[in-house]
Amino acid sequence: MLHSSYMPFLKGGGIFIPTEKSFELGDEVFLLLTLMDDPERFAITGKVVWINYRTTPGGRQMGVGIQFGGVEGANLQKKIDALLGGYTRTDQPTNTM
């Protein structure tokens, strides 16, 4: 699931959040995230840079892509990169590109 939600192609990294709430591109958001079984919580700010609407082609899940911001966002990006470092299923579909 982390692989299908992570957005490494964004400067500073980002993550897709499934939601039915309405957002606009550029909206500032605050996230409190945990990764897999890790008890550490990341409190980060970010910006909406991707939107999957209910009608998005390809059967992708509805939600928004958030670009990480600040020092905590940089720390989160490093943590996700480390977790996915050995993951080789790059042909697996994601919720974004």
- CATH code of the domain made up of 2-84: 2.40.10.220
Domain boundaries, the chain: 2-84
Rounded Cα–Cα distance for residues 40 and 97 (Å): 28
Query: Which has more confidence, 71 or 37?
Result: 71
Tens digit of pLDDT for each residue in 41-74? 888 999 999 898 876 666 677 899 999 998 888 8
CA dihedral 50, 22, 30, 73 (to 10 degrees): -10
Q: 87 in helix, strand or coil?
A: coil
Asked whether the beta carbons of 45 and 29 are under 8 A apart, the reply is: yes
pLDDT (mean) for 2-13: 83
Q: What is the pTM of this model?
A: 0.80
Asked whether the beta carbons of 65 and 49 are under 8 A apart, the reply is: yes
